[in-house]
Structure 1
Amino acid sequence: MSKKKVQTLNELLEELLVLEDQQPYDIPENWVYVRLGKVVEFQGGSQPPKSVFKDEQLDGYIRLIQIRDFKSDKFKTYIPKELAKRTFEENDVMIGRYGPPVFQILRGLSGAYNVALMKATPVKCLMDNDYLYYLLQVPFIQSPVIKESHRTAGQTGIRKELIEGFVIGLPPLNEQKRIAKKVERLLSKIEEAKQLIEEAKETFEVRRAAILDKAFRGELTKKWRQQNLSVDSAAQRLEMIKKERFQIAETKREVSEIIEMFDELNIVECINNNDWLYIKANMFCYNINCGGTPSKDISEEGEIPFLKVYNIVNNKVDFSYKPQYIPKEVHKSKLKKSMLRPNDVIMNIVGPPLKKIAIIPEEYSEMNMNQAIVRFRPIKYVLPKYLYYCLQYDETLRDVINKTRGVVGQSNISVSQSRNLVMPIPSIEEQAEIVSKLEEMIKREEIVLSLVSDEKNLDELKQSILSKAFRGELGTNDPSEESAIELLKEVLQEQVK
């Protein structure tokens, strides 16, 4: 039997190095190009049978880490140690092979791992473990892997061969350690900035809620009321609203419901110290209805824009996102009761989350909506923008939302509950003053919030730092250090002895 030929140092080095025409970007002179799989070993996990799983650690058992556990932050699966074919320690770098999101880079746990994870172990003396951890997060490695996962239908996992084939610049070992420390320091500052942004957002929401509270308790317009005593009284307002509401009723059933609502109203209890009325939404709106879903008639092109809950973004209509349409014939027949026009106020009644509220903008003369949305169209004595802000006020929906808590699955508000929402109705002049003050104060808060860098910019900065780091552009490289190619020679020399 012939002996296996022992390769020379130069032959091994030639196999390891990347040809010049395959080198993707410039690197410092003391770096060298290699393929990732030549300096890192990637090892997939194994899948023990679920029949051996335990939800508590027993003698002779080891924790099994599964990619799905990272979503819930619960790692409570244990298997017999003899079935733990693949294990890792806290500092080991792990790759999540499944998604979403795909290609998660993880570390900080120990135990066995299943087929959804892959362990990345750097070749000793060639690559630093911390350097590897950050290297796997760079855009020029992440993006192609994620792109392939989106393109490959029915894929069972990230291909190990793809990752092993990536061409990278390999610095000297000491430079790797300097890069890893600097990247860690810079990324920690980005995480701190993100935390500050989240705190700023939370503060903004608290301050916004406080502004709405002052508005709908009458505090913002207290001085205005003292200076405008000639506006209509609450009693006069009630009669005008009542008369108008009966005039717009469309069916006998609706008239009967209106009569019942006004008959049940206690005139003394429904007027507060500000001379505001407190009445149900269906008493000062056209009949409140939800939409429907004519699935056969919905298409990506058509005549009438058809709104879904995902089209309500930041309390505004965003029809540019996944737009759908219905024919005008359906709009005027099957979905006649849910026709929308400019200045109608809409609210989602299926969540979570609830309290997504918007005003139909002037640019759409006609729209319609599905069954997860209700329409509030106020009569002439209530301003649409006043109603829009009043629905955002915590107290308006507090009791209804509290009833949905603790219910498994979706949290829903019924059309009946929407009709029975009680809201304060001051004079239309005071409503206009409230809206004016609210918009001025909220705009001021939004300007302050906008001065804080958003998370998208920080994520872009993170990607920029990672890209620069692994191209040798962070200013940490020492040209006088021994070249990385000498490291390769030292390691390969052991193989030819």
Structure 2
Amino acid sequence: MSHAIRDVLEQHFDTAFAATDGIAKLRELILTLAMQGKLMEQDPADQPASELLKEIETEKQRLVKAGKIKAPKPLPTIKPEEVPYSLPQGWSWVRVREICHDWGQKTPDSKFTYIDVGAIDNSLGKIGSNIQILGASDAPSRARKIVKAGTVIYSTVRPYLLNIAIIEKEYDPEPIASTAFAILHPFGSLNARFIYYYLRSPAFIRYVEATQKGVAYPAINDGDFFSGLFPLPPLTEQHRIVARIDQLMARCDTLEMLRNEQEEKQLAVHAAAIQQLLEAGDALAWDFIERHFDALYTVKKNVAELRNAILHLAMAGRLSSPMDTDSQVASLLDILQTNQSKNTSLRKSEYDSIHAALKAAANGVVRNRVLLSARLFCEFITKGTTPSANELTDIGEVPFLKVYNIVGNKLDFNYKPSFISVDVHRNKLGRSIIRPNDVIMNIVGPPLGKVAIVTNQFPEWNMNQALAVFRPLGGILSKYVYYALSARSTLKTVLREVKGTAGQDNLSLEQCRDLIIPIPSIEEQCRIVSRIDQLMIQCDTLDQQIDAATKKQSELLGAVMAQV
């Protein structure tokens, strides 16, 4: 390795610690340099790869003659346009099949050690502890490929997971691998770890990505896999390169461990301060957070926790206090009762229940605020309906909302907009007509509880069955209800009781109607919303600063990498 390359690599260790993806990029760089022959200086005394290929050919013929492997099919000549980069003197481009062989297949006829894709520890490149010992009668149909100590196995199914490992020991009973693996047993004394590292290198990953087939469940077939190119160095250089890669990867591991420890400490300190703030409202806790903003808020998880704490404090009445000039909540309860008496969507039994609950709530007013279930202060709470496929269009008259139109607790109708006709909107989906300033929440998860306020982009909207709408009465602020529904504490009790099917959690409309929300006077709602808005702007700024710092660190890392 030249002094210039060594200096660049050392720069990376300094820079990688700060960048979010720095250590991963550093690992990629190490493998890129290694496979381009830039990680170690070449030794003119090394036997060139061309001589190694002659030895491989001799061994290949011997194994074929002994009946241990099948005679390989001729491989196509490597064309100049296939070669991704130039190699140092003494190296040779070959196809993967030229440097390895398999051991054939067999149907298990006795007890065996089964190595499936799930047995791979892809971070360590080893077989994990969860291998299975199976009897012949229990053998899956995919248990067929023979492997031995020194064999490299590569999962050709979902190759982006990099389920690659070296069989490092003899297994008893005999090991048999899944047909999901490509089997690479190195010829002669080729270094299995060098092969392993190349299969994980950016150059080979790019080849696989360009060759694999399928989208949801991509795979590369054996023919394409073994036709890939392989940079073959002299044997002694292989060993030097592997030793250096191992050394540098160990430094990456240490960096990763130090950064994880740093982040864990940062999260723990922040969590303790937030917990103290939530439990006791200790001003010292808030002072501590403000004094250490720069140190605490370099990770977005802490910012998310701060947002949750702000909403919790707001709903607990600890971001503002009642004022003597505020209107009385008792009067607001009377207004709500009057509004509900005019609510034509209610059956008599429902109105009687709401009337009794509002009357009883008057006895529960404390510090000019009262706890109310959402059904008591909303005109209605309902969910949408999904029209037939031919009733949905990309352009149309009435916008139709789906869960993915709520992004970051805001309405984003620019993302995959759908429309329905006025006729369908009025006659078929009239129950789920929503208007500007309504509050909507997704009730099918994960994740449950995304919330947004309907904008005035259109005079009327509609929505599907995964969304519920809340329309407050009595002058209660939609923005206040929006923040209340966004608070983790509001959904906490019902989330314990959610029911779901096929891996989805669902909130029922009854659970939505039973959500308990603290309702202060309208004036205090205004103060709370204003204060939350201010604090959320600060949180937005923190997120932007983290994004900017991350981008800068990544750009710096990219600039350093570009020097190689």
Q: Measured at CA, do residues 105 and 68 of structure 1 come closer, stay the same or move farther in structure 2, by a change above 3 Å?
A: closer
| 1:182 corresponds to 2:281 | no
1:370 aligns with 2:468: no
Partner Cα distance (2:521, 2:542) in 1: 32
Gap change, CA 1:293 and 1:425, over 3 Å in 2: same
**Once the 2 structures are TM-superposed, how far is the Cα of residue 315 of structure 1 from its aligned partner?**
2.1
Consecutive unaligned residues of structure 2, counting only runs of 5 or more, are 1-49, 58-74, 123-127, 169-174, 268-298
Work out which of the residue numbers 90, 94, 113 in structure 2 matches 1:34: 94
CA distance in structure 1 between the partners assigned to 2:253 and 2:501 by the alignment? 40
Alpha-carbon offset, residue 413 of structure 1 = 1.3
TM-score, normalisation: structure 1: 0.73
Residues 181-216 of structure 1: per-residue CA shift (max 9 Å, x gap): 435644764686578679544433333322222111
Give the distance between the partners of 2:425 and 2:107, measured in 1 at CA. 53
1:118 paired to 2:182: yes
- Tell me the SS of whatever aligns to 2:317: coil
User: 2:162 matched to 1:162?
Assistant: no
CA offset at residue 455 of structure 1?
Answer: 12
The 1:281–1:274 alpha-carbon spacing in structure 2 relative to 1, beyond 3 Å, is same
Q: Which moved more, 1:8-17 or 1:257-266?
A: 8-17
2:435 aligned residue? 341
Given that 1:396 and 1:423 are in contact with CA atoms closer than 8 Å, whether structure 2 keeps it comes out as yes
Matches within 5 A, 1:286-305: 286-296=379-389, 297-305=391-399
Distance 1:125 1:113 in 2: 23
Q: Which moved more, 1:306-315 or 1:116-125?
A: 116-125
Q: How does 1:43-82 map to 2 (within 5 A)?
A: 60-67=111-118, 75=130, 77-80=132-135
Q: Does 1:239 align with 2:303?
A: no
Q: Measure the CA separation in 2 of the matches of 1:230 and 1:451.
A: 40
Alignment partner, residue 315 of structure 2? 216
User: 1:236 deviation in Å?
Assistant: 0.9
Pairs within 5 Å for 1:11-410: 18=78, 20-29=80-89, 31-41=91-101, 60-67=111-118, 75=130, 77-80=132-135, 86=145, 93-99=152-158, 102=160, 104-107=162-165, 112-127=176-191, 129=193, 131-151=194-214, 157-171=219-233, 172-173=237-238, 174-179=240-245, 181-183=247-249, 185-186=251-252, 189=255, 200-222=299-321, 225=322, 228-247=323-342, 249-251=343-345, 253=347, 256-265=349-358, 267=360, 271-296=364-389, 297-379=391-473, 381-404=475-498, 409-410=503-504
Q: Is the 8 A contact 2:411 2:454 kept in 1?
A: yes
Flag the 1:213–1:154 CA change in 2: closer, same or farther, 3 A: closer
Distance (Å, rounded) in 2 between the aligned partners of 1:233 and 1:176: 76
- State which drifts further: 39-48 or 213-222: 39-48
Q: Aligned pair 1:439/2:539, yes or no?
A: no
Shift of 1:125: 4.3
Give structure 1 stretches of 5+ with no counterpart. Answer: 1-7, 53-59, 475-497
C-alpha separation in 2, matches of 1:168 and 1:373: 53
CA distance in 1, matches of 2:160, 2:512: 41
Q: Secondary structure at the match of 2:437?
A: coil
- TM-score using structure 2 length: 0.65
CA distance in 2, matches of 1:351, 1:39: 50
**Aligned residues with identical type, % of pairs:** 29
Shift of 1:30: 5.5
Cα deviation digits, residues 344-382 of structure 1 (max 9, x gap): 211122223322222223434443211111011223522
State the Cα distance separating 1:391 from its structure 2 match.
Answer: 0.8
Higher helix share: 2
Please tell me whether the aligned partners of residues 122 and 128 of structure 1 are also in contact (alpha carbons under 8 angstroms).
yes
Change (3 A) 1:256 1:444: same
Cα distance per residue 1:73-96 (max 9 Å; x no partner): 994744137977546689864322
- CA drift of 1:61 comes to 4.9
Change in Cα spacing, 1:20 to 1:410, as seen in structure 2 (3 Å) is: closer
CA distance in 2, matches of 1:161, 1:458: 42
Q: More deviation in 304-313 or 103-112?
A: 103-112
Hey, what's the Cα distance between the residues in 2 that align with 1:109 and 1:269? 73
Does the 8 Å contact 1:40/1:120 carry over to 2?
A: yes
Aligned length: 444
Q: Secondary structure at the match of 2:441?
A: strand
Post-superposition shift, 1:338?
A: 1.3
Q: Given that residues 329 and 368 in structure 2 are in contact (C-alpha distance below 8 angstroms), is that contact kept between their aligned partners in structure 1?
A: yes
**Distance (Å, rounded) in 1 between the aligned partners of 2:429 and 2:197:** 54
Deviation at 1:220, TM superposition (A): 0.8
- For residues 324-357 of structure 1, the C-alpha deviation after alignment (integer angstroms, 9 at most, x for no partner) is 3322321222112212333321112222332222
Alpha-carbon deviation of 1:408? 8.1
Any conservation in 2 of the 1:17–1:35 contact (CA below 8 Å)? no
Question: Partner of 1:5 in structure 2?
Answer: none
